[in-house]
């Protein structure tokens, strides 16, 4: 059976949700939340500078992070990324929590976790306004990435010709690429075959560098935005 | 000399900066030094290194 478009879009969501459920239900992963009296006791110890109390408060609120991350699973963001972002919010919450304000830690932490995720989504939305033709938008049943250029039917040759007008612009762009940070430069060079003429997929790069595909994607987007701004500031469009 | 040896024993490698430190957070067996914890608290989603923190924090549940 030929997979439909809905299959392509639903598969990552279902996979992500299953992973998330396993974090919440698997007793080997995130520990049980604290009882109110346990929490109160640990907060008192935390006020006295007890490091262990802080560790326990963070660990026992990780399920809260996973539960809040679940609310955002329709934003097409990697579920593990969401839990990491939520964990940043949780660490901030534990560090800044003020017991004298009579708010429950769970209420305060939930706000901080949600806020961190929302801020991240806002930043992503800004970045997503910039559409890149070679950005993978999904993958087919064999795991090959599908790029925007593949479905809108533009001749790649025309696009390249439009994008890079003349050898002077190309040289300028190569100069700018050299100024990127180490990992950004490496990813842009591999994606666009700047060193050996071989364009690699994000999945291939993620395997080669030992990092996740979503991380490669974020670094690539950030690098392209930098290059775009840098080129525009010198009058190249 | 003895104190130095004791210090070495308790030093743990931070999952973020990869440096060894004595004090910091220990979340499900993953260690985050005080300096990195301070950086996390001051971290903004638009900061350059934010993606790195997202990746490295996954070690907390990958290791546990």
Higher-confidence position of A185 and A168: A185
Indicate yes or no: CB of A119 within 8 angstroms of CB of B45: yes
Q: Does residue A202 contact residue A216 with C-beta atoms inside 8 Å?
A: yes
pLDDT in the model for residue A198: 84
CB < 8 Å to B33, chain A = none
Which residues, 6+ apart, have CB-to-CB distance to A236 below 8 Å? A169, A172
Grade residue A41 by pLDDT with cuts at 50, 70 and 90. Answer: very high
Q: What token pair was written down for A36?
A: 């109110």
Lowest mean pLDDT: which of A164-168, A218-222, B10-14, B35-39? A164-168
> What's the rounded Cα separation, in Å, for the pair B43 and A47?
23
Is the predicted ipTM greater than 0.85, yes or no? yes
pLDDT in the model for residue A9: 41
Q: Between A55, A119, A122, which is nearest B25 by CB?
A: A55
Higher-confidence position of A222 and A150: A222
DSSP state letter for B33: E
> What's the rounded Cα separation, in Å, for the pair A89 and B38?
13
Indicate yes or no: CB of B46 within 8 angstroms of CB of A123: yes
pLDDT in the model for residue A1: 42
Q: Which pTM was predicted?
A: 0.67
Question: Quick check: A23 pLDDT over 60?
Answer: no
> What's the rounded Cα separation, in Å, for the pair A234 and A211?
33
Phi first, then psi: what are they for A48, rounded to 5°?
-85, 5
pLDDT in tens, A108-148: 999 999 999 999 999 887 776 666 666 677 777 777 777 77
pLDDT in the model for residue A150: 73
Q: What is the mean pLDDT of chain A?
A: 80
Q: Does residue A223 contact residue A184 with C-beta atoms inside 8 Å?
A: yes
Lowest mean pLDDT: which of A6-20, A173-187, A208-222, B48-62? A6-20
Indicate yes or no: CB of A119 within 8 angstroms of CB of B58: no
Q: What is the mean pLDDT of chain B?
A: 87
Grade residue A152 by pLDDT with cuts at 50, 70 and 90. Answer: low
Higher-confidence position of A120 and A5: A120
pLDDT in the model for residue A75: 86
Lowest mean pLDDT: which of A48-57, A83-92, A181-190, B30-39? A181-190
- Where helices occur in chain A by DSSP H, the ranges are 5-25, 36-47, 51-59, 62-70, 79-96, 105-128, 148-152, 156-163, 166-178, 182-191, 202-209, 213-233
Q: What token pair was written down for A14?
A: 């279902």
**Number of neighbouring beta carbons within 10 Å of residue A214:** 17
Q: Report chain A's terminal Cα–Cα distance, integer Å.
A: 44
Lowest mean pLDDT: which of A49-58, A77-86, A207-216, B13-22? A207-216
Question: Quick check: A167 pLDDT over 50?
Answer: yes
> What's the rounded Cα separation, in Å, for the pair A227 and A179?
9
Higher-confidence position of A63 and A194: A63
Q: Enumerate chain A positions whose Cβ falls within 8 A of a Cβ in B.
A: 23, 28-31, 51, 54-55, 58-59, 62, 80-81, 83-85, 87-88, 91-92, 95-96, 116, 119-120, 122-123, 181, 211-212, 215, 218-219, 222
pLDDT in the model for residue A194: 82
Q: Does residue A199 contact residue A145 with C-beta atoms inside 8 Å?
A: no
> What's the rounded Cα separation, in Å, for the pair A174 and A176?
5
């Amino acid at each position: 059976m030929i997979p439909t478009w809905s299959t392509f879009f639903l598969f990552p969501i279902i996979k992500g949700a299953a992973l998330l459920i396993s974090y919440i239900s698997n007793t080997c992963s995130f520990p049980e939340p604290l009882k109110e009296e346990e929490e109160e006791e640990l907060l008192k110890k935390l006020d006295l500078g007890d490091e262990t109390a802080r560790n326990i408060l963070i660990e026992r609120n990780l399920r809260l992070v996973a539960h809040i991350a679940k609310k955002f699973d329709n934003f097409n963001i990697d579920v593990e990324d969401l839990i990491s972002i939520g964990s940043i919010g949780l660490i901030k919450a534990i560090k800044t929590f003020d017991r004298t304000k009579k708010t429950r830690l769970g209420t305060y932490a939930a706000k901080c976790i949600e806020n961190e995720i929302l801020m991240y989504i806002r930043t992503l939305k800004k970045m997503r306004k910039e559409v890149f033709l070679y950005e993978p938008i999904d993958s087919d049943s064999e795991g090959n990435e599908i790029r925007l250029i593949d479905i809108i039917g533009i001749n790649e040759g025309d696009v390249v010709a439009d994008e890079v007008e003349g050898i002077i612009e190309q040289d300028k762009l190569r100069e700018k690429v050299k100024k990127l940070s180490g990992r950004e430069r490496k990813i842009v060079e591999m994606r666009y075959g700047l060193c050996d003429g071989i364009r690699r997929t994000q999945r291939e790069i993620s395997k080669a560098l030992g990092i996740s595909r979503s991380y490669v994607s974020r670094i690539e987007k950030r690098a392209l935005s930098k290059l775009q701004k840098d080129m525009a500031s010198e009058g190249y469009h | 000399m003895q104190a130095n040896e004791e210090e070495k024993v308790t030093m743990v490698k931070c999952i973020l900066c990869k440096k060894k430190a004595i004090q910091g957070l220990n979340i499900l067996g993953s260690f985050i030094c005080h300096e990195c914890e301070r950086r996390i608290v001051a971290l903004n989603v638009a900061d350059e290194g934010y993606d790195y923190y997202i990746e490295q924090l996954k070690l907390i549940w990958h290791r546990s």
